[in-house]
Amino acid sequence: MFRAAGFAPGERVTVPDGRILVRTIDDMVAETFSMSWTAPHLFGAQTPEFEQRLRALLAEASPEARFAVRLPDNILTIWRPVRGG
């Protein structure tokens, strides 16, 4: 689509991250529900049961209720207009 609009091929740039965030069970549940494939409306009336089971699994996995999450690198695609075209 960008090429058809007069842009040169995209240039990919990686911006390293790798920070570590400490997340709570509430954070992990919120992140899960924020994803399109696990959005609450997909579970309908079973949403409370899903959340309860998710919280139980997370509590079992970490009795301290803390999770270390490493942030991935950011991949940018830069599209520039074709010059002189």
**Domain range list for the chain:** 20-72
At 84 the pLDDT is 67
Placement of tokens 């079973």 in the chain: 46
Across the chain, which has 85 residues, the per-10-residue mean pLDDT values are: 90 97 97 93 94 97 96 96 77
The model's pLDDT over 19-40, given as tens digits with 9 standing for 90+, comes to 999 999 999 999 999 999 999 9
Helix H or strand E segment including 78: strand 74-78
pLDDT of residue 3: 86
Sign of CA dihedral 43, 40, 52, 55: positive
- Bridge partner list, 74: 15
pLDDT score of 83: 80
Q: What Cα–Cα distance (Å) separates residue 63 from each residue in 24, 28, 31, 49, 57?
A: 11, 14, 19, 21, 10
pTM: 0.70
Whose tokens are 């942030």? That residue is 71
